[in-house]
Amino acid sequence: MTDQNVSLFTHIINRDISADIVFEDDICIVINDIAPQAPVHMLVIPKQPMARLVDADAADQALLGHLMLVAGRVARQVGVGDAFRLVVNNGADAGQTVFHLHLHVLATADGGLKLSEADMSD
């Protein structure tokens, strides 16, 4: 992968760019979004680059399951485990602006969530 094809998230994973890291393991990293669309807005990012969800295949099942489990874990960790939204924007027309698969964990600080579709873009 040439440097121009390396995503912003790969730079964060490699520590070329700083980020507010909430959680990290060998498979993924979770950061607070720099332009939050809700009081709680974290991104669950796999370390293995994958542009979009539709690029996944059967070999990625364990990775995708792990991302979902981590999303639930960090939601509980920050106190919104009972009420949060999990969003994946797949493609530019769906609001994806960073083409490295990532899950948005969104909630209000008190665990509720009322967001419009306009709030769902990357």
Name the token pair of 49. Answer: 């680059």
Mind giving me the DSSP string for 18-41?
---EEEE-SSEEEEE-SS-SSSEE
User: Which pLDDT value is given to residue 116?
Assistant: 53
Q: Which of 41, 100, 102, 104 is catalytic?
A: 102
- Measured in degrees and rounded to the nearest 5, phi and psi for residue 103 equal -105, 135
Q: Which pLDDT value is given to residue 113?
A: 54
**Domains contained in the chain, number:** 1
Are 114 and 53 a contacting pair, CB within 8 Å?
A: no
11 a catalytic residue = no
Q: Which helix (H) or strand (E) holds 65?
A: helix 61-77
pLDDT tier at 1, thresholds 50, 70, 90: very low
Amino acid letter, 112: G
Determine contact, residues 103/43, Cβ cutoff 8 Å: yes
- Joined together, the tokens standing for residue 54 give 């539709």
Q: What is the CATH number of the domain that holds 81?
A: 3.30.428.10
**pLDDT: is 54 or 1 the higher one?**
54
Average pLDDT, the chain: 90
Amino acid at 113: L
Distance CA 34, CA 94 (A): 20
Residue 3 has pLDDT above 70, yes or no: no
Q: Are strands 40-46 and 28-32 parallel, antiparallel or unpaired?
A: antiparallel
How confident is residue 109, by pLDDT bands cut at 50, 70 and 90? confident
pLDDT tens digits for range 52-101: 999 999 999 999 999 999 999 999 999 999 999 999 999 999 999 999 99
pLDDT at 4: 58
Helix (H, G, I), strand (E, B) or coil at 74: helix
| pLDDT higher than threshold 70 for residue 118 | no
Q: 70 or 6: whose pLDDT is higher?
A: 70
Q: Which domain holds residue 34?
A: 3-120
